[in-house]
Amino acid sequence: MYSNTNKTFIIAELSANHGGSIKIATETIRAAKRAGADAIKLQTYTADTITINSRQDHFKITQGTHWDGQYLYDLYTQASLPWEWHKELFETAMEEGLVCFSSPFDFTAVDFLENLNTPIYKVASFEITDIPLIEYMASKQKPMIISTGIATIEDIALAIETCKKAGNHDITILKCTSAYPAAPDDANLLTIPDIVERFDVKSGLSDHTMGIEAPMVAVALGAKVIEKHFILDKSIGGADAHFSLDEKEFKKMVDAVRLTEKLMGHVDYEMNEKKEKSREFSRSLFIVKNVKAGDIVTKENVRSIRPGYGMHPKYYKEIIGKKFKQDIPKGTPLSANLL
């Protein structure tokens, strides 16, 4: 599980990218494995568990989004993943060696996922204020991953406190920008290390930007989890297709994250054989003019140059004014026994 490894836990978010077909959904899981994902995440709701069928203006989307003009009930009817598919999708993920889990949106979804032995619970961005739901999820004592898209600091603190009160301390908070797609100017990835310091939890990124740069930067800033929407083929269309990555793009992101991990490495001041060998090209004190026994050491006949076979340059001021013991040709590394 992601809690027990230093490797970034990379989640492919299936979301609404199933095209209404379980075959597409299962093939998407297999493609996520090929692309290098560690996990596949579902969403477990129906239109009726997440909203109501109302044509009042409150339920119409008018916020300048890709989904403007639709009613919530219609959007969620189209986007929801049928519950009867879940068992097969969990099994497919297991066959592929992927962790499979979900975001439940009400108590019945939590109960349903418990019967499938979900290993993790994910709190979606817009559910961070649903404290009773978070409490119920946390009570199952599974790792909690919580997105912060619409959250205030107080919302985040309350969600964490709710988990801890339920006896659940395995909490990861994902920086998230609830815009689809999200603009780079709104990413504010410096929030990731601040979450760790401020709340003493693990942190990560639920990314809605269009590229792969944000996950790379997030990992460099200490993200332990990266979540990105994944689609088998963008021609499938659907509610989330316009900001999802296909297999080729997702693999590119995974490769970039793994490279970032290697680049970050660990704090290292130790010498090794390679460094020792390279020190041969460092600066040292050399005799740069032919000198006679008794000649004075001056800045004209001794200089700090490459390579590194002579005395350390830190002795330069000390040796100026001393005398050479013998005749020495130009190009000789300076050593104490010559003075």
d(CA 23, CA 158): 40
Strands laid side by side in the 284-287 sheet: 302-305, 284-287, 332-333
Taking Cα atoms as reference points, which of 173, 73, 79 lies closest to residue 125?
A: 173
CATH 3.20.20.70 fits 2-45+80-264, yes or no: yes
pLDDT tens-digit map of 99-157:
999 999 999 999 999 999 999 999 999 999 999 999 999 999 999 999 998 899 999 99
Give the model's pLDDT for residue 267.
92
* Position 81 confidence tier, pLDDT thresholds 50, 70, 90: very high
Give the model's pLDDT for residue 57.
78
| Out of 8-22, 39-53, 113-127, 174-188, least confident range | 174-188
* Position 79 confidence tier, pLDDT thresholds 50, 70, 90: confident
Regarding predicted confidence, which is higher, 3 or 220? 220
This model's pTM is above 0.85: yes
pLDDT at 210 over 90: no
Whole-number average pLDDT of the chain: 93
Are 297 and 339 spatial neighbours (Cβ–Cβ below 8 Å)?
yes
Write out the chain in H/E/C secondary structure: CHHHCCCCEEEEECCCCCCCCHHHHHHHHHHHHHCCCCEEEEEECCHHHHCCCCCCHHHECCCCCCCCCCEHHHHHHHHCCCHHHHHHHHHHHHHHCCEEEEEECCHHHHHHHHHCCCCCEEECHHHCCCHHHHHHHHCCCCCEEEECCCCCHHHHHHHHHHHHHCCCCCEEEEEECCCCCCCHHHCCCCHHHHHHHHHCCEEEEEECCCCCHHHHHHHHCCCCEEEEEECCCHHHCCCCHHHCECHHHHHHHHHHHHHHHHHHCCCCCCCCHHHHHHHHHCCEEEECCCECCCCECCCCCEEEECCCCCECHHHHHHHCCCECCCCECCCEECCHHHC
* Position 93 confidence tier, pLDDT thresholds 50, 70, 90: very high
pLDDT tens-digit map of 246-284:
999 999 999 999 999 999 998 999 988 888 888 889 999
- Per-domain residue ranges of the chain: 2-45+80-264, 274-338
CB neighbours of residue 169 within 10 Å: 14
CATH topology (fold) of 274-338: Type Iii Antifreeze Protein Isoform Hplc 12 (3.90.1210)
